[in-house]
């Protein structure tokens, strides 16, 4: 009896507890589902603590409940969760928002149970690792408006049932591995043609195929963005696309579309039209009526060859025009270049001919005109265009002419990096996120970054205090990406709710400035906890488990070590296959530190040698930028197939290069000799060539001290080649495009690849195979046919003069050496003439310490005969002395000083210092202080900053 009473009491207590739990807190069905999910997911927010069984009452982060204690929103965006999406999710039947985006390690199949969430309005699972088919049950989500499964690993075909999602506005299945045809109601009973409320069809980057039938689209549709690019669609482009009056972006590029492009005159709102890389035929599309077009790309199709289309001058809003290899010929109209918003014109690989005359009303935003590989014979450019923005390589006017060494013919404009640049971290615990823009209208994102920054900054700032760092743009060769970094303000790090509610740009409530087009975001894992303390905690809890795991690992490690040892053997003997060609190439090269790369690895590092990764080209072949698996950036010099160089020479070259190590020489990382390919792999030098910086292409203005330092660095590298390399090496092609600048503006000499070994016995060895570049060549060489170390000195002298003049050695039919000498020979005040040839940037920045001595030295280097020129060692010492005598320590500069001061600095420009120059007998004996002080500027940096502060 007593026993019975106790039991009854207990039961009452339990029931009471249970009922209180149910009434005041989470609905038990929802609670059970979330608790079960918690078990399957790691890295859930700390509020999802094991102690809590009440998600609504205990306010689990990312969970929102309604008045009936039902869970209505589950948002765990960017938590770096691991696990799978189990059927439990199907119990949360009142859910209207499910957003688990940016959890790269959340994988497994997309459970059909999601089809039970019939209240769902937002289903957002972007950038996870979901695999398997899209379950047809998702067609039951009758309330769904926002449906995004992009950037997963989904396979199979698109289920026709999705045609029943009649409220869907946003459909994004892009960047998966979907196959098959687009489902449509006529053939499949249901299909995407029924989505009459949809504004977005984002199906790009899949393996979809087959034709797109006419009845996929009709005038009842509301589509704004149709992204079908990068699939395998074939057949003709349906003309019915042309009747959707709302259409703004149409991307059909990189498919197998054939036939003629249908007339689409009614698309008066279309901003972006991309048809490139298809097999379209027939006449060139007439785009005259599409008056809103801003970005057009018709490249690489098989249109009937034609003259320049008349619509080139009709599209008043055009910003970006890309038509590579489309068979157009004739002369480009001046009016094209006066279109008011024009930024990028890329018309390479066509038959354009005659004189390129861009007129004198060039759009002020125009910053790229790429007409490489056409038939242009001459060029008229007015001062309103920056020469540096013109690319004309591969036209008759660049071949065998004075122009061949000038910027338009050698231009390798720096485009956006193709891998995520390492962000310059500006705070502890920043939140990092990448916005991917799928079809911006503009050509040059840099102009629009400030607007994007302020727009984002205010949107994010309204949600949580943060400091938004610099935006970093890059591209994967497909879409534009912008890396954003938000720093916490007044707190050490963001908490869960800030990340979940403020940085989840997934629901498209954030509107970027116009022209950026459709986007989505990926977040990077955020450090919600201090790594150390977490590690300690885990250590305590799981110590014993670790012991077991550790023992297992030791076993695994031993096995792997053995495997690795085996692999290492093959690595240290990279020439196991060296003799496998038919050529007689002797023994394998003897290497000091260079590594042998597999062709496959280099292919991967350059995206299969895509053109966008090409950073330079010459007679020998092409140089590519690449990124190794470990993140190291490299520059790959790939010889043309069947180039002259034999295997034996290649071997000699790598043996030689692998011996040369100096901080001012570009280092050889390795090579590849496989399948007829000959490649040299160098370290990648981030800041481009000296000529780019000098000609202002990089937006950098080099001040005088930096130029001295660059001269010193590169002289150091050359002196090493001449005097310390064993055997000594003559560079043979010293020029400003062969001097590279790294992130700290340290100069490194490149391309001594085909250098000549100086024979031990004789200094002035005869060389028959001259490689040098016009404008830098030692005049003595023409007479004596002898190439010596002093020939390098001559070329280096030309580079030193370029540091003063900032122009190519031959410009406007003038030769830099003669121009400087003539200017100095002018009778009256000697430096007066020099002013006209000097780089205006130097005059503006002032502070020309040691300038006369430098000039004297440069002129000595370009003396007519070798013995009158100093040695590279002497040059190094002289520059060091110039720097020391003027209180500069080589190697102690702040990089920030390298960048241009803003335009307000103009008013502080020194009075021209040379006009009052002393009248002493030679200009070089003149009191050097005149250069430094007569303008009132003891040093460029100090004075400019001081002035700016006042």
Which residues bind to ligand NAG, rule: CB under 6 A? 73, 75, 97, 99, 185, 193-194, 207, 218-220, 232, 243, 266, 286, 288-289, 310, 501, 504-507, 509-510
Cα dihedral sign, 438-440-441-443 = negative
- Give me the residue whose beta carbon is nearest to ligand NAG: 507
Which residues lie closer than 8 Å to 324 by C-beta, 6 or more apart? 276, 299, 300, 346, 347, 348, 349, 350
**93 vs 459 by CB, closer to ligand NAG:** 459
Minimum gap (Å) between residue 241 Cβ and ligand NAG: 11
Query: Is 353 considered catalytic here?
Result: no
Minimum gap (Å) between residue 307 Cβ and ligand NAG: 9
Minimum gap (Å) between residue 323 Cβ and ligand NAG: 15
786 secondary structure, DSSP code: B
Minimum gap (Å) between residue 164 Cβ and ligand NAG: 12
**219 vs 581 by CB, closer to ligand NAG:** 219
- Kindly state the tokens that stand for 108: 């497994």
Distance CA 639, CA 619 (A): 9
**287 vs 756 by CB, closer to ligand NAG:** 287
CB of 834 within 8 A of CB of 820?
yes
**267 vs 882 by CB, closer to ligand NAG:** 267
Phi and psi at 286, nearest 5°, equal -100, 110
**258 vs 874 by CB, closer to ligand NAG:** 258
**146 vs 695 by CB, closer to ligand NAG:** 146
Cα dihedral sign, 289-312-233-102 = negative
Minimum gap (Å) between residue 299 Cβ and ligand NAG: 19
CB of 99 within 8 A of CB of 122?
yes
Pairing of strands 170-172, 200-202: parallel
Minimum gap (Å) between residue 105 Cβ and ligand NAG: 21
What is the strand order of the sheet 351-357 is part of? Answer: 306-307, 328-330, 351-357, 375-380
Minimum gap (Å) between residue 46 Cβ and ligand NAG: 19
Minimum gap (Å) between residue 393 Cβ and ligand NAG: 30
Minimum gap (Å) between residue 460 Cβ and ligand NAG: 9
**273 vs 700 by CB, closer to ligand NAG:** 273
Distances (CA, A) of 605 to 25, 610, 666: 54, 10, 19
Minimum gap (Å) between residue 263 Cβ and ligand NAG: 8
**73 vs 348 by CB, closer to ligand NAG:** 73
Helix then strand then coil, % of the chain, to nearest 5: 35, 20, 45
Beta bridge partner(s), residue 357: 380
- Kindly state the tokens that stand for 84: 């799978």
**196 vs 546 by CB, closer to ligand NAG:** 196
Minimum gap (Å) between residue 378 Cβ and ligand NAG: 27
**244 vs 669 by CB, closer to ligand NAG:** 244
Beta-carbon-side half-sphere exposure of residue 235 (alpha carbons within 13 Å): 12
Closest CA to 602 of 624, 577, 572: 624
- Kindly state the tokens that stand for 232: 């395998």
497-512 as b/e: b if 16+ CB within 10 A: ebbbebbbbbbbebeb
Distances (CA, A) of 887 to 89, 463, 846, 883: 71, 51, 16, 6
**256 vs 413 by CB, closer to ligand NAG:** 256
Beta bridge partner(s), residue 655: none
**460 vs 690 by CB, closer to ligand NAG:** 460
Q: Which helix (H) or strand (E) holds 648?
A: helix 647-659
Distance CA 793, CA 754 (A): 17
What is the 3-class SS of 159-196, one letter each residue? CHHHHHCCCCCEEECCCCCCCCCCCCHHHHCCCHHHCC
Identify the active-site residue in 733, 751, 778, 839. 733
Q: Which helix (H) or strand (E) holds 466?
A: strand 466-468
Minimum gap (Å) between residue 320 Cβ and ligand NAG: 21
DSSP assignments along 321-365, one per residue: EE--SS-EEE---HHHHT-TT--EEE--SSEEEEEEE--S---TT
**300 vs 504 by CB, closer to ligand NAG:** 504
Phi and psi at 869, nearest 5°, equal -90, 150
Task: Please provide the distance, in angstroms rounded to a whole number, between the alpha carbons at the two ends of the chain.
Answer: 96
Q: Which helix (H) or strand (E) holds 615?
A: strand 614-618
Q: Which helix (H) or strand (E) holds 940?
A: helix 940-949
What is the 3-class SS of 491-560, one letter each residue? CCCCCHHHHHHHCCHHHCCCCCCCCCCCEEEEECCCCCCCHHHHHHHHHHHHHHHHHHHHHHHHHHHHHH
- State CA 885 to chain mean position distance: 42
667 secondary structure, DSSP code: P
Closest CA to 653 of 682, 692, 625, 633: 682
Minimum gap (Å) between residue 229 Cβ and ligand NAG: 14
List active site positions: 733
């Amino acid at each position: 009896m007593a026993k019975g009473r106790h039991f009854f009491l207990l039961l009452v207590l339990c029931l009471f507890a249970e009922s209180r739990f149910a009434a005041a807190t989470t609905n038990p069905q929802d609670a059970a589902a979330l608790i079960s999910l918690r078990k399957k997911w790691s890295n859930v927010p700390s509020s999802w603590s094991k102690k809590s069984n009440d998600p609504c009452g205990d306010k689990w982060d990312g969970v929102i409940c309604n008045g009936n204690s039902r869970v209505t929103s589950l948002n765990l965006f960017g938590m770096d969760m691991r696990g799978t999406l189990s059927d439990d999710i199907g119990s949360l039947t009142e859910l209207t928002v499910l957003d688990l985006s940016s959890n790269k390690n959340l994988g497994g199949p997309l459970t059909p149970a999601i089809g039970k969430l019939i209240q769902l309005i937002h289903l957002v699972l972007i950038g996870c690792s979901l695999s398997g088919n899209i379950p047809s049950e998702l067609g039951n989500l009758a309330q769904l408006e926002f449906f995004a499964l992009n950037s997963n690993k989904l396979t199979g075909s698109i289920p026709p049932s999705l045609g029943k999602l009649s409220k869907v506005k946003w459909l994004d299945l892009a960047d998966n591995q979907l196959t098959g045809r687009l489902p449509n109601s006529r053939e499949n009973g249901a299909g995407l043609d029924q989505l009459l409320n949809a504004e977005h069809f984002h199906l790009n980057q899949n393996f979809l195929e087959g034709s797109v039938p006419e009845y996929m689209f009709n005038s009842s549709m509301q589509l704004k963005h149709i992204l079908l690019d990068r699939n395998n669609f074939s057949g003709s482009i349906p003309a019915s696309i042309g009747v959707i009056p709302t259409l703004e972006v149409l991307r059909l590029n990189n498919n197998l579309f054939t036939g003629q492009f249908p007339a689409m005159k009614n698309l008066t709102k279309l901003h972006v039209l991309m048809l490139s890389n298809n097999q379209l035929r027939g006449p060139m599309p007439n785009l005259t009526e599409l008056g809103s077009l801003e970005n057009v790309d018709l490249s690489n199709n098989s249109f009937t060859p034609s003259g320049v289309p008349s619509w080139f001058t009709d599209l008043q809003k055009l910003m970006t025009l890309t038509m590579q290899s489309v068979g157009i010929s004739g002369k480009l109209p001046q009016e094209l270049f006066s279109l008011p918003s024009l930024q990028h014109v890329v018309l390479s690989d066509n038959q354009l001919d005659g004189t390129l005359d861009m007129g004198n009303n060039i759009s002020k935003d125009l910053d790229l005109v790429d007409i490489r590989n056409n038939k242009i014979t001459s060029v008229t450019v007015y001062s309103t265009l920056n020469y540096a923005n013109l690319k004309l390589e591969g036209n008759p006017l660049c071949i065998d002419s004075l122009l061949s060494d000038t910027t338009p013919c050698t231009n390798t404009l720096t485009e956006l990096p193709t891998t995520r640049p390492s962000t310059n971290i500006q705070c502890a615990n920043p939140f990092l996120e990448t916005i991917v823009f799928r079809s911006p209208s503009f050509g040059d994102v840099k102009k629009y970054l400030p607007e994007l920054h302020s727009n984002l900054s205010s949107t994010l700032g309204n949600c949580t205090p943060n400091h938004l760092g610099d935006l970093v743009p890059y591209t994967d060769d497909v879409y534009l990406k912008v890396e954003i970094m938000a720093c916490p303000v007044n707190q050490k790090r963001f908490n869960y709710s800030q990340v979940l509610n403020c940085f989840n740009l997934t629901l498209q409530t954030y509107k970027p400035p116009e022209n950026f087009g459709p986007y989505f975001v990926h977040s990077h894992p955020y450090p919600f906890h201090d790594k150390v303390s977490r590690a300690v905690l885990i250590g305590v809890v799981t110590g014993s488990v670790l012991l077991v795991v550790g023992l297992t690992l030791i076993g695994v490690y031993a096995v792997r070590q053995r495997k690795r040892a085996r692999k290492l053997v093959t690595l240290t003997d990279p020439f196991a296959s060296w003799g496998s060609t038919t050529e007689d190439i002797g023994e394998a090269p003897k290497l000091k530190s260079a590594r042998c790369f597999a062709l496959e690895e280099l292919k991967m590092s350059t995206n299969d040698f895509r053109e966008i990764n090409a950073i330079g080209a010459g007679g020998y072949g092409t140089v590519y930028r690449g990124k190794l698996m470990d993140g190291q950036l490299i520059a790959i010099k790939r010889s043309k197939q069947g180039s002259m160089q034999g295997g034996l020479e290649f071997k000699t070259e790598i043996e030689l290069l692998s011996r040369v190590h100096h901080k001012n020489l570009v280092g050889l990382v390795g090579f590849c000799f496989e399948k007829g390919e000959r490649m040299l792999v160098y370290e990648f030098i981030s800041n481009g060539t000296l000529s780019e910086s000098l000609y202002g292409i990089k937006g950098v203005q080099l001040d005088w001290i930096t130029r001295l330092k660059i001269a010193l660095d590169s002289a150091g590298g050359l002196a090493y080649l001449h005097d310390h390399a064993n055997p000594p090496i003559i560079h043979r092609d010293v020029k400003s495009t062969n001097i590279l600048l790294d992130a700290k503006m340290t100069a490194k000499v490149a391309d001594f690849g085909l250098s000549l070994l100086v024979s031990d016995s004789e200094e002035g060895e005869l060389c028959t195979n001259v490689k040098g570049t016009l404008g830098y060549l030692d005049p003595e060489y023409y007479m004596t046919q002898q190439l010596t170390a002093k020939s390098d000195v001559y070329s280096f002298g030309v580079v030193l003069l370029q540091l003063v003049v900032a122009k190519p050695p031959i410009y406007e039919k003038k030769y830099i050496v003669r121009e400087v000498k003539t200017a100095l020979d002018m009778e009256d005040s000697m430096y007066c003439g020099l002013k006209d040839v000097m780089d205006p940037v130097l005059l503006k920045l002032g502070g020309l310490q040691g300038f006369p001595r430098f000039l004297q030295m440069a002129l000595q280097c370009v003396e007519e005969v070798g013995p009158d020129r100093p040695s590279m060692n002497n040059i190094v010492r002289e520059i060091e002395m110039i720097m020391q005598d003027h209180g500069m320590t080589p190697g102690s500069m702040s990089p920030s000083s390298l960048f241009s001061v803003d335009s307000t600095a103009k008013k502080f420009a020194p009075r021209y210092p040379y006009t009052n120059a002393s009248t002493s007998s030679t200009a070089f004996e003149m009191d050097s202080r005149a250069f430094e002080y007569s303008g009132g500027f003891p040093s460029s940096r100090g004075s400019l900053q001081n002035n700016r502060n006042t």
